[in-house]
Structure 1
Amino acid sequence: MKTLPPLYTGLLLASLFSPAALAQIPSSDGYVLDKVVQVSRHGVRPPTESNEKLLTSVTQRKWPTWLVPFGNLTGHGYTGAVEMGRYRGEVLRDAGLIPRGCPDASQLLVHASPLQRTKATAQALLDGMFPGCGLQPGYVHGKQDALFQANEMPFAALDPAKAKAEILKALGGSVEAAQARYKPFEEKLREVVCLPATDCPYGKQDWTLEQNAKGRFAIKGLSAGANMGEVFRLEYSQGLPLDKVAFGNGRTAAEVSSLMVLTKAKYDYLNDIPYIASRGASELMNQIALELKQGTPLEQKDAPDSPPDVPLMLLVAHDTNISYLRTMLGFGWKQGDYIANNIPPVGTLQFERYKEVKTGEYFLRIAFEAQSMDQIRNLTQLTDTQKPLRSDFQSAGDCRKTSAGLLCPLKDAMVKVEQNIDPTALTPYTFN
């Protein structure tokens, strides 16, 4: 199905001069950072309007009031993203990938999902990386971008029977059996959200597997508990008073994560399904792969949809997008107080291409980096001694532990990156 190419609004530069040529700076063991593609989640936001209605309905109580519209990036979230951008910019600048001053359009591509929270987060990351440069992110004008909303678009539609079969397999055979396993966690959430002596509906609903009008699957009954856990984490990260976080039951990061078991279950059974992930993120992974191969012997010279060849491609997306990419790679992590494979606000999946100076060979480092829950809550300044959490991925081949991280031969790593791209879930795409 042919789709209109997205409109990339480009970068508006404040400076009237071109920055000096970048000096590539080898690491202590002889590797130069050559190219970076990073996919970041948006920053802290309140619940979406539909989630707020659901949670109010199932708990019959008022949830905390936020100062921005439902689903929008908060001021706290913007500030946290600025700090992550500032830190990340210093790392890339010290490696010689980006300039000390303002970049020109040949050095940077920043593209965001078209929702307010992702566009505003992209702006915050730019403001942190390049303060005073007046840069603005690109995005599609409209509600859907094939990079980020493919799972809701016809070209990547699911085969319902196949998707349902894969979900049921992950559930252990049936939705009923899965709910029985998670009943203790539903009871724990009931104790947190249900007021005494009230007819609180939460936890009394049978789980049912459903497909919505956009083609996405959901487990009705599980969704409420999963959303609660995410909202509790957002409340804590936002810096709400501790007696407001999880109604006073989330006074530490560890306590908040203990309330997110059903949040993880939702991802395990709906997002982290190889077939569903491949349909939902092949378009995004394909653009990442095309970018990483440019300028190397692996470059696809005849690829009609290749993105601009830039040192830094920054994509600002949603946790759904990153969870799909994680599943396609087979990449898992456990960071700090977070539950396994969690994708916190501004959590970033990084693809860093290095060149070995003495041989000219290319290597790839894939990592996930995120601020801790307390770093986000406290707006902690990130430094060499107060770093974000980071997990490296052993992709494929003869990977090397280096001062830059775990580096794997690019040719072998790209096999891993591309192995689960579904060619039938691709559509023509252009960054304008």
Structure 2
Amino acid sequence: MKKVLVSVFLWIVLFYNISDANELKLKQVLIFSRHNVRYPVADNLERYTQKPWPTLSGPKGALTPKGARLEGYMGEYFAQWFNDNKFLNAGCPDDDEVYVYTNTASRTKATARAFLDSAFKDCTVPVHHKNIDGPDPLFAPVIRNTTQAYKDMVMEEIKRKVSNNQKLKEVYLELNDILNVQESDVCKEDDICDLTEPKNSIFYEVGKEVWVHGPLMIANSVMDFFVMTYYDGLPIKDIAWGNIRSKEKWRVMTELARQDHDIRYGTVAEDIGAPLMNYLRETFHNYDNRPKLTLIVGHDYNLNSITTNMGFQPIDLPKQFEKFPIGGKLVFQRWTDDENDFLKVEYVYPSWSQLRCGTKYSRTDPPQRVVMKLNWCSDKTGRGLCPWTEFISKV
């Protein structure tokens, strides 16, 4: 009982009543969100093992019903936060108070819709997106630098990160056994019979996403299936054919996504993230003329670019194995004491078990939240509050 009371107290003080604790008022919020739980996206999984894969109940890449439900819970959580901080007027928000923009992928649009329908019940808040085939260039993680020197640098850096990577090797060894790769079509046809062997090839083309074909792509495709079906609630006996049961093994296996992000996106973060960074920079520089609430829904690689390019201090998220969990949100908050404004950034996200269990958030079981600090912005309060003028002058 004592633990429950302590949890309730901390949740109220640190999140809901921050305005009382700091004598500040919440002025504006920009949320950059990753979409929620989706169906796996990989093709050709049958080439990587002779074992039968579970059948999906929806189209590849689409938001799952559970993903929509979880995002609805997140919308309710934020609605309560807005209400407790007297951020928006009661009832439906005015047309100029809330602006929502997403990538063109169905999962990002559906995530935004699920959030809004729960945060602003019985209201009509539009979701904006481009009506084009393919991804919105604002979100697309494609190479834009056309110089040979840049290509050479990227290729060398990727080769360095891939070679003798012990964390990748741990995952590869596990997958060799789980998939029984030696009996697979990819072994018989492509001679990739041991994922630890250095048989990667880099695909690099201006205007396209960087890919590393071979063991890294195979492992990435397979782990995406395992993780997404775990989040979506597939029985444990059917995930990786019952071969991943402990948290320790999940910790080892999910390191693959961290390494893949560093290899394919971290190396080129500034280049692939330039349009999105320009958009955010322009938004913050003209924030006085922007809506009180802005919600942008994209992908994990967008969050990787933002946190890298903005210079956030690295952090390991408590109660999560992933670096940018499904449904996680980078929340830029503008607070004011009526004389000075301050920036506070928090990462709000579901824990590993919250995603699996799919329970509604409450005051005793809220989503996780950590303060994100910028390397270059002073915080004299120790609460993650950066002077707004300093943020604007440097971002």
Write the deviation string for residues 281-315 of structure 1: whole angstroms up to 9, x where unpaired. Answer: 2222222223223356xxxxxxxxxxx61000000
Question: Is the counterpart of residue 216 in structure 1 residue 197 in structure 2?
Answer: no
Question: Is the counterpart of residue 239 in structure 1 residue 227 in structure 2?
Answer: no
Alpha-carbon distance, 1:316 to partner: 0.6
- State the alpha-carbon separation in 1 of the partners of residues 113 and 229 from structure 2: 22
Write the deviation string for residues 147-166 of structure 1: whole angstroms up to 9, x where unpaired. Answer: 212x348xx35545414414
Q: Which amino acid aligns with 1:178?
A: N
- State the alpha-carbon separation in 2 of the partners of residues 145 and 197 from structure 1: 40
Question: Is the counterpart of residue 398 in structure 1 residue 372 in structure 2?
Answer: no
Q: Which amino acid aligns with 2:392?
A: M
**After the TM superposition, which residues 32-431 of structure 1 pair with which residues of structure 2 at under 5 Å, given as runs?**
32-48=25-41, 51-53=42-44, 55-142=45-132, 143-149=134-140, 151-152=141-142, 156-159=144-147, 161-169=149-157, 171-172=159-160, 175=162, 177-178=163-164, 182-194=168-180, 201=187, 203=195, 206-212=199-205, 214-221=207-214, 222-273=216-267, 276-294=268-286, 309-331=290-312, 332-339=314-321, 342-357=323-338, 360-395=339-374, 396-401=376-381, 405-416=383-394, 418=395
- State the alpha-carbon separation in 1 of the partners of residues 354 and 328 from structure 2: 12
Return 5+ residue gaps in structure 2 as ranges.
1-16, 188-192
Distance 1:283 1:74, change over 3 A: same
- State the alpha-carbon separation in 2 of the partners of residues 59 and 382 from structure 1: 38
The normalised TM-score by structure 2 is: 0.85
Alpha-carbon distance, 1:186 to partner: 0.8
Alpha-carbon distance, 1:248 to partner: 1.1
Distance 1:353 1:189, change over 3 A: same
1:304 aligned partner: none
Question: Does structure 1 conserve the Cα–Cα contact (< 8 Å) formed by 2:36 and 2:63?
Answer: yes
- State the alpha-carbon separation in 1 of the partners of residues 174 and 287 from structure 2: 54
- State the alpha-carbon separation in 1 of the partners of residues 155 and 361 from structure 2: 39
- State the alpha-carbon separation in 2 of the partners of residues 164 and 264 from structure 1: 23
Return 5+ residue gaps in structure 1 as ranges.
1-23, 297-307, 419-432
Distance 1:401 1:83, change over 3 A: farther
Q: Which amino acid aligns with 2:209?
A: R
- Provide the secondary structure at the position in 1 that maps to 2:96: coil
Question: Does structure 1 conserve the Cα–Cα contact (< 8 Å) formed by 2:48 and 2:179?
Answer: no
Question: Does structure 2 conserve the Cα–Cα contact (< 8 Å) formed by 1:347 and 1:369?
Answer: yes
Question: Does structure 1 conserve the Cα–Cα contact (< 8 Å) formed by 2:98 and 2:125?
Answer: no
Alpha-carbon distance, 1:91 to partner: 1.0
The normalised TM-score by structure 1 is: 0.78
- State the alpha-carbon separation in 2 of the partners of residues 159 and 401 from structure 1: 44
Q: Which amino acid aligns with 1:187?
A: L
- Provide the secondary structure at the position in 1 that maps to 2:384: strand
CA RMSD of aligned residues (A): 2.6
Q: Which amino acid aligns with 1:194?
A: N
- Structure ranking higher in helix proportion: 2
Q: Which amino acid aligns with 1:190?
A: N
Identity %: 25
Q: Pick which of 68-77 and 258-267 moved more.
A: 258-267
Distance 1:160 1:42, change over 3 A: farther
Distance 1:70 1:30, change over 3 A: same
Alpha-carbon distance, 1:102 to partner: 0.7
Question: Does structure 1 conserve the Cα–Cα contact (< 8 Å) formed by 2:48 and 2:181?
Answer: no
